[in-house]
Amino acid sequence: MADDKAKEQGEHHKSRLAEEEPSPILVPRRRLQMQSRRDFLLYGVGAAAVAGGFWWLLPGDTHSRVLTPGQAARLDSLEARVGLTGGRKETLLGRTLTFDDDVAEALYSPNRIVPTYAKSQITPNLRNNYGGGTPDPDYIDDWTLTLDGLADGKQRKLSLHDLSTRFGHHEEITRLVCVEGWSAIAWWGGLRFADLLRAFPPMPGARWANMESAVNVDSDGNSDPYYVSIDLGTARHPQTLLATHQEGKPLGVEHGAPMRLIAPMKLGLKNIKALTHITYTVKEPADYWNERGYSKYDGV
């Protein structure tokens, strides 16, 4: 009897649950209209802020092409009044580049091997992409590679003969990627940077190589030494070469004779041509294009 009563109560409870339906929540139309207007205004303000920030970050040359001089002057005045000065923009962009460099360096792995290619895939007529002018080849006959910042405190000057007889010759066919947007597959040969580091170890605590071309010239033919900073992790990568050959022949002056850096995990502007000096340092050294607004790390 008790069981029948409990069963009856359970079925009654289930039927009540089944019969109950959720009640609609009624919102006054005026409140919905106010919410819609508020959302529209918020989205509009957000979109305007994003567009304004993007416009502020654009170069001045772009502003001048779009605006009249009067409009540009009024906009500059408004930006200055709200604190959006050119100096603040450069600081923001600089910090963004630094953060990007730090992330790229943290993610770097010496075990990451850059893709290699067959000789049939080589890009014909590799372009001469000297940033200024091509140096006169007269320097090649007396060329030496100077090493500083070594563990023994001494300076070394090594001729091409010294290097070619002491170190093994390695070849690779890799892609050279330019910051300008083009790339080319090229065949390089030379000694591994890692082998040079083992033979002439850097000073204790050194993390960087300051690499310089003292023979670099600008577009007018005037001396314009070129220099890049390379972290020693990149220098020790098995695909990083101090190249002396291209397509099985000694480098031509247009491609950095008699020795250039080939680091295929870096953009072309890091792959310094006509290398004359390497100095190992504890602190990161100056970098030619970084001083002109580009990234320091320049990884591919």
Residue spans of alpha helices (H) in the chain: 2-19, 29-57, 60-66, 69-81, 86-107, 160-166, 193-199, 232-235
Q: In Å, how far are 17, 62, 84 from 206, measured between CA atoms? A: 75, 42, 40
pLDDT for 294 equals 86
Q: For residues 125 and 113, what is the distance between their CA atoms, to the nearest angstrom? A: 26
pTM of the model: 0.69
Q: What is the pLDDT of residue 160?
A: 97
Please give the structure tokens belonging to residue 27: 């919102």
- pLDDT by residue for the chain (300 residues), tens only, comes to 555 555 555 555 555 555 556 666 665 766 666 666 666 666 666 665 555 555 555 555 565 666 677 666 666 665 556 555 555 655 555 555 455 555 555 555 667 899 999 999 999 999 988 878 899 999 999 999 999 999 999 999 999 999 999 999 999 999 999 988 899 999 999 999 999 999 999 999 999 999 999 999 999 999 999 999 999 999 999 999 999 999 999 999 999 999 999 999 999 999 999 999 999 999 999 999 999 988 887 888
**Angle between the 86-107 and 29-57 helix axes, to the nearest 10 degrees?**
90
SS3 106: helix
Looking at residue 60, its pLDDT comes to 58
3-state helix, strand, coil in the chain (%, to 5): 40, 20, 40
Could you say which DSSP state residue 207 is in?
-
CA distance 227 to 194: 20
Indicate the residue type of 196: L
CATH 3.50.50.60, domain 114-292, yes or no: no
